[in-house]
Amino acid sequence: MPTYRHPGTVITDHRFPVPLDHADPAGEQIEVYAREVVAAGRERDSLPWLLFLQGGPGGRSPRPVGRDGWLDRALDNFRVLLLDQRGTGRSTPADRHTLPLRGDAPAQAEYLAHFRADSIVRDCELIRRELLGEDGRWSLLGQSYGGFCVLTYLSYAPEGVREALVAGGLPGLRSTAQEVYRAAYPRVQRKVEAHYARYPEDVETVRAVVRHLRERVVRLPGGGLLTAEAFQAIGTTLGAGSGSHTLHYLLEDAFLPGVPGGQLSDPFLAQIQGHLSYASGPLYAVLHESIYAQRSVSPRATGWAAETVRAEFPQFDVDRALAGNEPVLLTGEMIYPWMFTTDPALAPLREAARLLAQREEWPDLYDPRQLARNEVPVAAAVYHDDMYVDTGDSLASARAVRGLRTWITNEYEHDGLRVSGGRVLDRLIRLVRDEI
């Protein structure tokens, strides 16, 4: 196991073979990578373990350089394991290069069906037993989708958990994908309207960009097609604490000055590509709606829920806004089928994604009865009017998990764990241990 040093930390690489399908442990194996981080000078101490479950789906774990952010606070008490969930980071990859090697689209879709939270939790249990022993227990920290995984963990393997911390990631236990997006569009609209109130000049800049995209074919530096609807997805930035300011500075560079007829600038297009391309995390797009699918809630397919539900919110229609001289509403954490045409990182996976959207009878991810009798201490930060995770769903789930304590705050947005310099994690640790 390679070990190396960063300022204030000692890092050890781990690789674990795990079954692709945990129902067939003797079948195909894939590899899961994890990075162990411990404070320098404490490498040989008997420290409790903290498993970090990253947001996503399809997001790799953080790549820390020294004791930065929330990790600095965690290392005061823990030996931390940063997990690259299956298919991400340095784990066995699942992307446009590797998935076609598995065969046709049905074979790819069948493979990808094993990459949800239930499989991730079973991976974690194998890793826990290898690192801590059969009776060892560790603490969990779940950010966003990582919090979804935490509730799956508490549903099906609570015996492996000492305590659980969740930051902006309490899912609706009984919400369908359609219900999730039906609640999401109004939240996104509020965030966009708040941005326009802060930066009124951005209303016309956004209208000018979408008019330009309606009239011309525009390619991003990597070859992706920037349509008006693709540009609308830049609204996902508004879910972060500094997102409104980030978006404003992005829009400042939209057009080259002095070019007749208007020309979108290269810096603008490069930044847009950085925000919208799924090259670094294709599983986010491919699996996003399936993370809400459970047969006991609805046996039906998710059926491109964000696209279907969007028809109920005509105010998001670009052409209607342009014709009515209205502000163009941006969109948020929604995945649409056309993304698998415009984004070169997703195009080879288009048919597999369609089959996943049509798949029915997904296994349940949560066990409400087990959560109702939960004995593991749990604390969760719920961000008021979180753009990505519905506050109402989060609070209902908090009530459904026995013993879960919540901290409801509007001091931070969805990225509070990352940007708070350890303050969010510190409060959760004190909350779960009844110190406050």
Residues that are catalytic: 144, 386, 414
Q: What is the DSSP letter of 263?
A: -
Residue type, 169: G
- The Cα 42–Cα 60 span in angstroms is 26
Q: What is the amino acid identity at position 359?
A: R
343 CB contacts (<8 Å, ≥6 apart)?
224, 276, 277, 278, 279, 285
Q: Are 94 and 115 in contact (CB under 8 A)?
A: yes
Half-sphere exposure in the Cβ direction for 169 (13 Å, CA)? 29
- Residue 210: count other Cβ atoms within 10 Å of its Cβ: 21
* Residue 59 in tokens: 């997001």
* Contact status, residue 38 vs residue 391, Cβ threshold 8 Å: no
Question: Which distant-in-sequence residues (6+ apart) come within 8 Å of 292 by Cβ?
Answer: 171, 172, 175, 176, 177, 180, 302, 305
DSSP designation for 101: G
Could you count the other beta carbons within 10 Å of the beta carbon of residue 401?
A: 27
Query: What's the Cα-to-Cα distance from 256 to each of 212, 224, 264, 333, rounded to whole Å?
Result: 13, 20, 6, 29
User: If you count them, how many residues does the chain have?
Assistant: 436
β 138-143/49-53 pair status = parallel
What is the token pair recorded at 254?
């939209």
Q: How far is CA 85 from CA 11, 31, 90, 128, in A?
A: 18, 10, 9, 14
Q: What DSSP line would sit under 236-251, residue for residue? A: GGGGSTTHHHHHHHHH
The token pair at 125 is: 């249990």
Of residues 91, 158, 149, the one with CA closest to residue 120: 149
Determine the Cα–Cα distance for residues 184 and 306; give it in Å rounded to an integer.
9
Closest by Cα among 154, 121, 145, 117 to 59: 145
